Chain A
């Protein structure tokens, strides 16, 4: 199975900050990397697919990038509704696997 490792966890930040979450794959996955946001008691929501494509309806302050087996999710200016847990997921091969999650907390 392909292992996905996220860092940091947790992450403390303030409204207005720029934050970056990193996800590293244990082997090459091309750009088959997706990012999800999950709030307590809710289902995950797709933010970014194919490493850097913004899903429909997602604010432009979210962005993704890739470099080899390292992937990043950036939020340019944190809003109160952005405090949540973020997961990366590889869909390069089955079994599809997720990172362990990064909880973004208010500082």
Chain B
């Protein structure tokens, strides 16, 4: 059974870079059927797609974040990662990694449990 698990610091200082890793188990990140994405949810608010990546690279980012975000993949470790630079309090959120179909409906069918990241000095 596929599982995704986010890891990384839960507290980041303003102006620094948020870094999270998603480890995929029970399946291969190199499965050509899927993309791998990041979604965030500020406390008490809705969901925002950050970006997605295919196992071979070529990330796609939300234009609202594209100047600050980098998503990369490491197939040897079955992991993909998120970096968000120059963070502010507005970036405080639960960050989810998820798998989504790479064609047709592109639905997100498997999610990690989420990682709360707080931006504070």
Contacts and interface: CB of A to CB of B under 8 A. Distances in A.
Contacts of A99: 46
Contacts, number: 60
A94 interface: yes
Interface residues on B, range: 20 to 34
Give the interface residue-count category, chain A: 20 to 34
Contacts of A101: 46-47
A43 B96 contact: yes
A46 B62 contact: no
A87 B109 contact: no
Given A43-B114, A101-B46, A95 B108 contact: no
B49 A34 contact: no
Contacts of A94: 49, 52, 60, 62
A43 B22 CA distance: 14
B106 A32 contact: yes
Contacts of B121: none
B42 interface: no
Interface of chain A, main secondary structure: loop
B114 A49 contact: no
B46 A95 contact: no
B105 interface: yes
Contacts of A96: 49, 106
A44 B47 contact: yes
B74 interface: no
Given A95-B49, A95-B63, A99-B46, A44 B111 contact: yes
A31 B109 CA distance: 17
Contacts of A63: none
Counting chain B CB atoms within 10 Å of each CB, the highest count among A36, A94, A95 belongs to A95
B46 A100 contact: yes
Interface of B: 46-49, 52, 60, 62-64, 96, 98, 100, 104-109, 111-114
